[in-house]
């Protein structure tokens, strides 16, 4: 597929007019991809550290379960990159929820309020959550790979739900990584509360 076809697929056709100005190497996108790959490894390592039978542990009834934090961050990453890549625009959250870029979740678990997975063998539920998280990371990494550094600065003017108004493509990618860090850190606290040593941060964040 040529550059023009890729741009059209992503809803970025106007940028094809300046393709001669797009650098052939993209150090920013390359760095983003590297960081997201490392983030994927670390996030899955944190998930793996919790025993399957404690996957839905929560310190209080008001908090998301351990599993929900991972489903929530995966869904959010899928959402941010879906908005970035889709040629359609979404004026509000309800319209966005009808978009066809969302990957299938293990269950229609509430991703904002405490909820539980379907009753299955604990190891099955853990495998389903891990696959979903991995798939959403792969979706992000693949999407970033279709962009160029020049494209990252654009997109702020596109119509989006109010909580993402004005976000450039780079903003969406960075916000996704910040959001992932936020929920992964909470999951690490859950491990500590269960007396489990979390995976070391530095091991998974070297270049």
In a domain, 60, yes or no: yes
In a domain, 12, yes or no: no
In a domain, 58, yes or no: yes
In a domain, 70, yes or no: yes
| Lowest pLDDT segment from 8-22, 27-41, 119-133, 185-199 | 8-22
DSSP string covering 82-108? HHHH-SS--SSHHHHTT-TTPPPPSS-
Higher pLDDT, 108 or 128: 128
Give the model confidence (pLDDT) of 142-199 as tens digits: 999 999 888 888 888 888 888 888 888 899 999 999 999 999 999 999 999 999 999 9
Q: The CATH number of the domain where 152 resides is what?
A: 1.20.120.450
| Cα distance between residue 32 and residue 52, in whole Å | 31
Residue-level pLDDT at 207: 63
In a domain, 11, yes or no: no
In a domain, 14, yes or no: no
Burial class of residue 121 (count of CB atoms within 10 Å of its CB; 0-12, 13-18, 19+): exposed
In a domain, 177, yes or no: yes
Alpha carbon separation from 14 to 2, 6, 205 (Å, rounded): 15, 12, 36
Alpha carbon separation from 159 to 42, 92, 166 (Å, rounded): 33, 9, 8
In a domain, 3, yes or no: no
The model carries a pTM of 0.83
Per the listing, tokens 């509000």 go with 92
Q: Look up the domain containing 109 and give its range.
A: 25-204
| Cα distance between residue 194 and residue 200, in whole Å | 17
When divided into structural domains, the chain yields a total of 1
Give the model confidence (pLDDT) of 57-110 as tens digits: 999 999 999 999 999 999 999 999 999 898 888 888 898 899 999 999 998 888
């Amino acid at each position: 597929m040529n550059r023009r076809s890729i741009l059209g697929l992503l809803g970025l056709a106007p940028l094809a007019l300046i393709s001669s100005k797009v650098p052939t190497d993209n150090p920013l996108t390359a760095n983003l991809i590297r960081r997201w790959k490392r983030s994927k490894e670390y996030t899955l390592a944190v998930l793996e550290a919790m025993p399957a039978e404690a996957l839905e542990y929560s310190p209080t009834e008001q908090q998301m379960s351990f599993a929900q934090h991972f489903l929530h961050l995966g869904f959010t990453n899928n959402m941010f990159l879906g908005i970035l890549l889709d040629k359609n625009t979404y004026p509000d959250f309800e319209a966005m929820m009808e978009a066809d870029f969302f990957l299938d979740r293990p269950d229609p678990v509430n991703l904002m309020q405490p909820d539980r997975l379907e009753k299955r063998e604990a190891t099955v539920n853990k495998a389903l959550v891990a696959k979903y998280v991995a798939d959403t990371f792969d979706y992000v990494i693949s999407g970033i790979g279709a962009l160029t550094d020049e494209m990252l600065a654009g997109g702020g003017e596109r119509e989006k739900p109010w909580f993402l108004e004005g976000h450039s493509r780079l903003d969406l990618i960075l916000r996704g990584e910040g959001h992932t860090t936020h929920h992964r850190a909470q999951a690490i606290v859950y491990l500590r509360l269960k007396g489990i040593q979390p995976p070391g941060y530095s091991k998974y964040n070297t270049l």
